Amino acid sequence: MNRHEPPLHMEPRQRIMAIVGASSGNLVEWFDFYIYSFCAIYFAPAFFPSGNPTTQLLNTAGVFAAGFLMRPIGGFLFGRIADKHGRRTAMMISVLMMCGGSLMIAVLPTYAVAGTLAPLLLLTARLLQGLSVGGEYGTSATYMSEVALQGKRGFYASFQYVTLIGGQLLAVITVVILQQFLSEAELKAWGWRIPFVIGAMAALTALYLRSSLTETSTAETRKSREAGTIKGLLKHKRAFFTVLGFTAGGSLFFYTFTTYMQKYLVNTSGMSARTASAVMTWALLVYMLMQPLFGALSDRIGRRNSMLCFGVLTTVCTLPIMHALADVSSPYAAFGLIIMALAIASFYTSISGLIKAEMFPTEVRALGVGLSYAIGNAAFGGSAEYVALWLKSIGAETNFYWYVSAICAVGLLVSLGMRDSGREGYLKDRP
């Protein structure tokens, strides 16, 4: 097997359009996935009737986590498709599947209409979306790393998280807009369905844009006997477990300060849902704009140094930031603390997909990235809300802060032993 791969000849305009096309689908997929979390406050009573708001959120968080459990399957399935049949094919299937999951949630009957069948159908839709997102991350990360220019790969690849965060941001903005025009009663009755319809329609647009993407894998690599196989992946065990290690800390920290933070500001800090949504809207906007800056920084200092900065700062700063947020009363102070945490997260998120792609050769790249990320993300990222809410329900919320710090410390140890993939990785011969 040749360690290096042939150059990908594309005009500058083609590269930009390829990034835009891949990013558009990425944005839609993550909007659809995250709108569930941001609307949970409103639709939780419709599917899990209970007088305790924390219990209702705990149930919806459990369904949210269940969607993550499908990610390893999605990572394997779509990684294999991308390595054997092409990146474009895999990305088109994943966004179409996400469209179906969102549309299904939009029309689901409530518990009052269908009884226990309602939460079961909700779970089914989330499992479908989890399968889709599990495939989306690895294939889009692989594609964007392969079309990026050498020397600027960190900058270009950072747009994966620009659109991923953009999906979250659009989800929050959608909720904020609905809050301005609908009462809380209307949002709980039917208003929460609107974002899922929007997401399903947007996915069809992304499908069209992805249909014109230039394929980055070659017929030769796709025909390789080891393309998209576990046997081929096992030859790169060190890369696989390295990705698994720093994904655990990266995903847990990321989900703590993005999807869970809105609920934390309401349930623990005592803010209103509208104030918490506004804080997170502005925080996610700034966070999204940080990604290209931190991606470009990694091109200068190396991927390993970026990961070491992330590991040290998350291990040391998680506890004081979470404690400060628990006692905060000013939304401006909350915004400042969250931005501090998200700036730390940017050392990882700006190069998250790229650093994984740089560790695997072409014939198993999508599988290696997708599967290792999906396992770490499912185990630690997807369970973040559930663990946090469960610990709060038993009166041990501060243990969650220690848990996040400990997992980030594991990621730090893994990063200490990693090679600088930006200088030694499989993609270094790309133009």
For residue range 6-47, what is the model confidence (pLDDT) as tens digits? 445 666 677 777 888 788 878 887 788 778 877 887 888 888
Which ranges in 257-330 belong to alpha helices (H)? 259-267, 273-301, 303-327
- Phi then psi for 212, rounded to 5 degrees? -105, 5
Listed in sequence order, the residues at least 6 apart from 341 whose beta carbon sits closer than 8 Å to its beta carbon are 253, 257, 317, 318, 321
Instruction: Decide if 228 is inside a domain.
Output: no
Instruction: Decide if 279 is inside a domain.
Output: yes
For residue range 82-107, what is the model confidence (pLDDT) as tens digits? 999 999 999 999 988 988 988 999 99
Instruction: Decide if 5 is inside a domain.
Output: no
The yes-or-no verdict on residue 161 having pLDDT over 70 is: yes
Q: Which two tokens stand for residue 303?
A: 């991927």
**Banded pLDDT at 422 (limits 50, 70, 90):** low
Instruction: Decide if 353 is inside a domain.
Output: yes
CA distance 359 to 362: 10
For residue range 369-405, what is the model confidence (pLDDT) as tens digits? 989 988 888 888 878 888 998 999 898 999 999 999 9
Angle at which helices 303-327 and 237-256 cross, to 10°: 30
How many domains, the chain?
Answer: 1
CATH number, position 83: 1.20.1250.20
The pLDDT, as a whole number, for residue 249 is 93
Instruction: Decide if 4 is inside a domain.
Output: no
Classify residue 52 by burial, with Cβ atoms within 10 Å: 0-12, 13-18, 19+: exposed
- Cβ atoms of 94 and 22 closer than 8 Å: no
The yes-or-no verdict on residue 1 having pLDDT over 50 is: no
The yes-or-no verdict on residue 164 having pLDDT over 80 is: yes
Q: Which two tokens stand for residue 336?
A: 């400042």
**Banded pLDDT at 4 (limits 50, 70, 90):** very low
- Cβ atoms of 248 and 411 closer than 8 Å: yes
Q: Which domain holds residue 368?
A: 12-221+234-429
Instruction: Decide if 391 is inside a domain.
Output: yes
The yes-or-no verdict on residue 329 having pLDDT over 90 is: no
The pLDDT, as a whole number, for residue 262 is 86
For residue range 266-322, what is the model confidence (pLDDT) as tens digits? 989 989 888 998 898 899 899 999 999 999 999 999 989 999 999 999 999 999 999
The yes-or-no verdict on residue 2 having pLDDT over 50 is: no
**Banded pLDDT at 51 (limits 50, 70, 90):** low
Instruction: Decide if 210 is inside a domain.
Output: yes
The pLDDT, as a whole number, for residue 34 is 76
Predicted TM-score (pTM) of the model is 0.82
